Structure 1
Amino acid sequence: MQTPSRQLVSSPIRDRLCGALLAAAAAMPVAAAEPRVPYVPTPQAVVDRILEIGRVGSNDYLIDLGSGDGRIVITAAKNFGTRGFGVDIDPELIEESNENARRTSVADRVAFYQRDLFDTSLAEATVITMYLAPHVNLELRPRLLALKPGTRIVSHDFSMDAWQPDQHVVVEALNKFGRAGGRSDVYLWIVPARVAGRWTWESAVGGRAHSYEIVLQQRYQVLSGTARIGGRLVKLDQARVRGDELRVEFTIDINGARVKHALTGKVDGDDVFGTAMLSGERLQSQGDWTARRVTRTAVATDETRRRQFLPHPPVLPH
């Protein structure tokens, strides 16, 4: 038997109206906390928007945390051929979800498991969807940030505090909370590559070789830093990482003229490969850009808690 707080953390918490009930249940003895936590299904219009904003397709592996009746995973499998699974603590909802998958002929691509979401490996996911309480999102945040860069995370109604979303849309759902209807917020995050540190490369500009250095500070997907050529140091005009795609812009004097640098590339560990566009009064050029990270520094986050997690995902039925 799980503790009340553990059960509540993993249940399909579905809206702000549940908050008072959850707080009361957490204070009850174990025996009194066993009944199902109130469940509010995600309206189909919101499901469709979640899959759209997450750009879910046939090559994705989708994991739904707090999967309820399974409609997100099942819709993705039915409409796009997506594979994946859902987890929920409620055995009745798991039984219903697997039956729904069989009835819609997608049981060969999806499955549902009665499991605490904190005991579920997320490593195989390319997309994660969730409809959880705010404090659960925050407790999951360290795990989500540790996933492969480019993994898409879509949350219904609740954000992740200091980790700002890459996209946020509002859906008016007429059948949310039954007949009452209401607004649904859908948030998208793309797990950023860890790019903090000092990067260097060599490049010829105006017929002369130059040694470059950029130093990046990182807070989630937001970057800041400096660029240096020889003894000249400037602040970056723009820097951002989206998944494994890095973009950096700065303007600096080269050979007596101001030259704007727009660098874009794909991060692969301590290397980045991409394109450099240079522009100035006497210079317009585009060419390959390759840089190497020579010093790593820590990424700034608000994470203070850590947990142990299972190393392997469940195996889907064949």
Structure 2
Amino acid sequence: MKLFPHLRRLAHFAAAGLAALAVMGAHAEDIAAWPTRPITLIVPFPAGGPTDTVARTVALQLGKSLGQPVVVENKQGAGGNIGASWVAHAAPDGYTLLLGTATLATSKYLFKQLSYDPLKDLTPAALLATTPVFIWVGSGFPAQKLADMLALVKAKPGQYNYSSSAPATLAHLGSLVFFERAGAQLVHLGYKGSAQAMNDFLAGVFPIYFEVAQPVAPQLKAGKVRALAVVAGRRSPLMPDVPSVAELGYPSIDAVPFMTLMAPAATPKAIVARLNDNARRALQSPEVRARLASLYFEVADGGDPAAVAAWLRTESDKWGEVIRRHDLKLD
């Protein structure tokens, strides 16, 4: 029997609709069953460093909570952008994740050509940890307080050198904002990494150093350095006796590097929500909290993914303005 043309079209659309519903149903089943195989967590920096250690510590507990192993893979290079780009272009199925750092907030301003947009092509699942920047001086430095240090450097504009963990890190950017607010002129010595900067700091090549606590802590315990302030709006529980720059008269300067759990942007919201829930559980683990605290990280509570995304945009806008104002580039 021949169908009228419009009936044939209706039959075709109905068949296509049923096929689409079948695909959607299978996709929904895949999401509901996730994860059914191991998950890869990309760390965009070398193995053995603090970022890698945080990733492996969280991955172990996250895997236990999810019921599938979370395997850490290091893809370093280009200031963290190689690993981040890899995840940004991965299948958005929840099986390839990124250990995100503050480079997500700064890279698009520092590199002319990125193969991805850090905030558009990736989405946060959880905020894992933060670690604020401190202002360090050697034990023999004459200033005992931040105000004394500023008085010394202001008396000799442009004659004092200082450094930070590396150019365009939040330690460097925070130092630029701080000295601008304080009206002090110093010369920043750029190093490729914190190891050489630390060696020269201890050797007396420069007297003032902006850096997070972890690499400096052994020297603090040995009595070779002192922390004058933390570059944040509040004191850090890592070193509660050290005042914040805010309480010393310089508010709204928060140089706080962070670590986030990121996924490709199109990852289903249900999977992102499940990642967030299980990351929160992992962060409550005594083993995770103790290990991260030993590295001088403040453990976060995971946060709400939408709120973390909004915060990342705010951080990016804030530090992007500093980068543009000082015409900083890394390529």
Is the pair's TM-score, using the shorter chain for normalization, greater than 0.5?
A: no
Q: Which has the higher contact order (CA 8 A, sep 6+)?
A: 2
Q: Quick check: which one's helix share is greater?
A: 2
Q: TM-score with structure 1 length normalisation?
A: 0.29
Q: Quick check: which one's strand share is greater?
A: 1
